[in-house]
Each structure stands twice: as C-alpha cells, then as structure tokens.
C-alpha cells in the first residue's frame, strides 16, 4: 500500500514537471543577435510569450546586446519567466529614453526575472546632465534602469543592475514580490542612483543582495507594507532609508518594515527614517532594524523628521507620525561623532521607540561618540554605547 502510494506520487511529480515545462521564446529566434539592437526582436518575443498559455520563457542568451526603451506590458495569459543571461545595454544618451524608465515590466501576475545577466544603464553621460541636485523641483527625472509596475507574485533574482542613469530597480504597486541575489553597482559620485526603491507595495522581500551606488541602498516610499530586508550589503551610498515621507498629499502609510542582518560600509547614513518638515499628514509604524553592522558609516542611526537636503525648508514641523520603531543589535564604527540621532517632530512626537543593544564607536578627533534625542522618549533594553538620550533631552 505504502510503496504503491509512493509510486503514484513519483508519477504525479514527473507528470507535473512535464506539463509545467515552459515554452521558450528566445530573442535570437526572433532575429535578435549579439552585438546588435534587439529592441524589436525582444518586443516580438514578448508578444508571443505573453499570449501563450502555460508558462512562457523569454530568453536573452549570453552575449552583449543593445536595447532601447521597452515596456513589457501584461496582463499575460500564463506565467512569465524572463531569463536574461546576456549583457543588455541602454543607449548612453539620456534623451534617447522618453519615459521614466528604460525597461518596464507592467501589470503581470507570476513573473520571474533571472539568469545571471546584466542591465547596463550606461549612465555615465546622464550623471553629468542630472540637475536634480540643483533644480530639484523642475529637474528632468532621468530614467530608472528597470521598473516593475503592478507586479503580483514576482521573483527577481540573480540579476545585475549596472550604472543606471537614475534609480536602479523600482517596484511600484507590487504584491508578493521577492528580490534575491541582486547586484547593483554604480559609482559613489553617480547622482540619485538608488539601488532598490519600493513604493506602494505589499509583501516584498529583499534578500542576499549587494548594492553599491551614489544614493540610497534600499529606499522605501509611502504605502509600503510588510517589507523584509535581510542580508543586504550596502556601500558606497546613502544607506537604508525609509522616506522621505510627507511631501505629497494622500501618501499611504508605511507599516511593517523589518531590516535585519545587513552590513553597511562607508555609507553616508546607516539606517534612516526621514520625513519633510511642514509635511502632509502621514504615518510610519512597526519598523525594526536589528543585527546591523556599520563600518565607518556616517550617521549610523538617524531618525530625521526635519529632513532638509536643500537647506531651504519650512520651519513648520513634520506631521508624519512615527511609532513602533526598534533599533537593536547595531554595532560597528561611525564616521561621525553623532552616532545616534533621534530627531522627532514636535507636532507629532515619536511613540514606542525601543532601543536595544547598541555599540557604535567613533574614532575621530572630536571626542567620544554621542547621541541626540528630540521629541522622543525611548524605552531601553540591553546596553548602549554611546549612551542614548542620556541625560534626557527634550
Ligand atoms: C508569491 O510569489 C511567489 C513567486 O512568484 C509564488 O511562488 C508564491 O506562491 C506566491 N505566494 C502567494 C501567497 O501567492
Ligand atoms: C570613513 O568615512 C569618511 C567619511 O565618509 C571618509 O572620508 C573616510 O575616507 C573613510 N575612511 C576609511 C578608512 O574608509
Ligand atoms: C556631539 O557631537 C556633535 C557633532 O560632532 C557636536 O556638535 C556636539 O558638541 C557633541 N555633543 C557633546 C555633548 O559632546
């Protein structure tokens, strides 16, 4: 009886594997060739893959290709596997891309992108014309390398994003999407090249990933719920950041962001929550940073409700409520004397902030490390170096 059942199960397994085998749509079968522009070939392969029943696999084999702005638009009939083994290069001229991203995956349920390949944004020229650091309200937003809009059940893994013109990977309106074994590389002086940005998404994981850029490693926008960031290595760049929040009307709450077992090296910030002064109302809650190693990080722990990067901010306080935040087991070296900054809003003071084990050492010439606390009364467990909110501040 037992062995008969096992045979049945084995048979069923083989049968299932056979049936779910993906149908392949290889770009080289659509006229795409290494060394050439594959835009049209890839769009044709996509069209057939998206219309196919069952699982369809689009393949870009090993080789170097050029690709113009493309949008892979669903919904598709079946699940999509997008297998990138090659090195795909964007046009270097930012004017060649008219929309906000070079490669877009949109409205797809069941999307896997993998294959060990690279999306090379060739951003070197774009960075020299990026005026968003000077004319931040009127600047032209340069294209993101790869955007994922409204993806449900996504698995993006073993992919590299290189030298994006602006943000590298951008997830908007995602539901149940995992990023794993992602590599993002851009130089420290490249402007606004955030590694992975998550906005208005639910159930997202970023795991086992290495990000070096000129801006945030992972940035979390409004409306993000249930995000896990684990075993991510950051640097150079600006660290792991929630926000900035409160700039726009009707921003969704950020709730449930858990960052653990990450290492940051030579970044401008460590773990950060930032909200604008004179902001719209909003909220950020149920957030934890645990098991974080800092190597020569400036502002290793920073909760900044008076975020003002361009030095012309309103004096009115932020109205984004920050609550339920835990910092625990955070250790390493700080490049700035202020190792911990908890600067909450006088209009909506932070609530339920929990400080656990902290061991941050500043080795510079200014004296021992210190901390700042405003409009927050944390609870403490474990031991803190430097002392946090002692003596009690505002
Ligand atoms: C989440 O997405 C993954 C990857 O596509 C899928 O395997 C899994 O079944 C999904 N989970 C749920 C609850 O739908
Ligand atoms: C530490 O960080 C500071 C500030 O970013 C930088 O100037 C310095 O070169 C770094 N030191 C090392 C040893 O990397
Ligand atoms: C803490 O560090 C800041 C930044 O270096 C410095 O301005 C301030 O005087 C320090 N506070 C104390 C109490 O040492």
Do 35 and 64 contact (CB within 8 A), yes or no? yes
**Cα separation, 158 vs 150, whole angstroms:** 21
**Residue whose CA is closest, atom 11 of ligand 2?**
296
Q: Does domain 216-394 have CATH number 2.160.20.10?
A: yes
Q: Please state the φ and ψ torsions of residue 129, each to the nearest 5 degrees.
A: -105, 5
Q: Whose CA is nearest to atom 14 of ligand 3?
A: 370
Q: Is the separation of the CB atoms in 274 and 241 below 8 Å?
A: yes
Residue 189 neighbours by CB distance under 10 Å: 9
Ligand minimally distant from the alpha carbon of residue 297: 2
CB atoms within 10 A of CB 147: 22
User: How far does residue 203's CA lie from ligand 1's centre (Å)?
Assistant: 10
Are 28-128+142-178 and 216-394 in the same CATH fold?
A: yes
Q: Which numbered ligand comes closest to the C-alpha of 156?
A: 1
Q: Which ligand places an atom closest to the C-alpha of 157?
A: 1
So which residues are the catalytic ones? 238
The token pair that represents 104 in the structure block: 């877009």
Q: Which of 335, 361, 364, 365 to mutate to test the pocket of ligand 2 (most atoms within 8 A of CB)?
A: 335
- Please determine, looking at this structure, whether the domain spanning 28-128+142-178 carries the CATH number 2.10.77.10: no
Ligand 2 centre to CA of 335 (Å) is 7
Element housing 49 (H / E): helix 39-51
Which residue's CA is the closest to the ligand 1 atom numbered 1?
153
**Cα 201 to middle of ligand 1, angstroms:** 15
CA–centroid distance, residue 311 to ligand 3 (Å): 21
Q: Residue ranges of the domains in the chain?
A: 28-128+142-178, 216-394
Tens place of pLDDT per residue across the chain (394 aa): 455 656 666 665 555 555 558 899 999 999 999 999 999 999 999 999 999 999 999 999 999 999 999 999 999 999 999 999 999 999 999 999 999 999 999 999 999 999 999 999 999 999 988 877 667 677 778 999 999 999 999 999 999 999 999 999 999 999 999 999 999 999 999 999 999 999 999 999 999 999 999 999 999 999 999 999 999 999 999 999 999 999 999 999 999 999 999 999 999 999 999 999 999 999 999 999 999 999 999 999 999 999 988 777 778 999 999 999 999 999 999 999 999 999 999 999 999 999 999 999 999 999 999 999 999 999 999 999 999 998 655 4
Q: Which residue puts its alpha carbon closest to atom 14 of ligand 2?
A: 266
- What is the C-alpha to C-alpha distance for residues 370 and 338, in angstroms, rounded to an integer? 5
Euclidean distance between CA atoms 342 and 172, whole angstroms: 29
């Amino acid at each position: 009886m037992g062995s008969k059942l096992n045979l049945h199960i084995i048979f069923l397994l083989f049968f299932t594997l056979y049936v779910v085998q993906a149908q392949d749509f290889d770009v080289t079968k659509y006229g795409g060739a290494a060394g050439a522009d594959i835009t049209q070939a890839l769009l044709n392969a996509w069209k057939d893959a998206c219309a196919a029943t069952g699982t369809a696999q689009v393949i870009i084999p090993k080789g170097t290709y050029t690709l113009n702005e493309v949008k892979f638009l669903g919904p598709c009939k079946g699940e999509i596997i997008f297998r990138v083994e090659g090195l795909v290069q964007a046009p270097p001229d930012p004017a060649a891309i008219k929309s906000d991203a070079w490669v877009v995956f949109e409205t797809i349920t069941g999307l896997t992108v993998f294959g060990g390949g690279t999306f090379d944004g060739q951003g070197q020229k774009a960075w020299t014309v990026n005026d968003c650091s000077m004319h931040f309200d009127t600047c032209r937003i340069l294209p993101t390398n790869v955007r994922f809009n409204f993806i449900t059940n996504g698995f993006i893994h073993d992919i590299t994003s290189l030298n994006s013109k602006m943000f590298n990977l951008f997830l908007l309106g995602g539901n149940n999407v995992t990023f794993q074994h992602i590599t993002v590389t851009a130089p420290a002086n490249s402007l606004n090249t955030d590694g992975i940005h998550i906005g208005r998404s639910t159930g997202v994981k970023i795991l086992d990933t290495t990000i070096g850029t000129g801006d945030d490693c992972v940035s979390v926008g409004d409306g993000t719920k249930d995000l896990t960031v684990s075993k991510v290595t950051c640097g150079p760049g600006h660290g792991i950041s929630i926000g900035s929040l409160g700039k726009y009307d009707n921003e969704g709450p950020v709730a449930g962001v858990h960052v653990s077992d990450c290492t940051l090296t030579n970044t401008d910030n460590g773990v950060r929550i930032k909200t604008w002064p004179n902001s719209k109302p909003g909220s950020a809650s149920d957030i934890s940073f645990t098991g974080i190693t800092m190597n020569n990080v400036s502002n290793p722990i920073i909760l900044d409700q008076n975020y003002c990067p361009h030095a012309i901010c309103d004096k009115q306080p932020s109205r984004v409520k920050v609550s339920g935040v835990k910092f625990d087991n955070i250790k390493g070296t700080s490049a700035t004397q202020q190792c911990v900054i908890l600067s909450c809003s006088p209009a909506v003071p932070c609530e339920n902030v929990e400080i656990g084990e902290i061991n941050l050492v500043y080795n510079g010439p200014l004296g021992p490390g210190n901390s700042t606390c405003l409009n927050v009364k944390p609870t403490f467990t474990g031991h803190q170096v430097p002392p946090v909110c002692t003596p009690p501040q505002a």
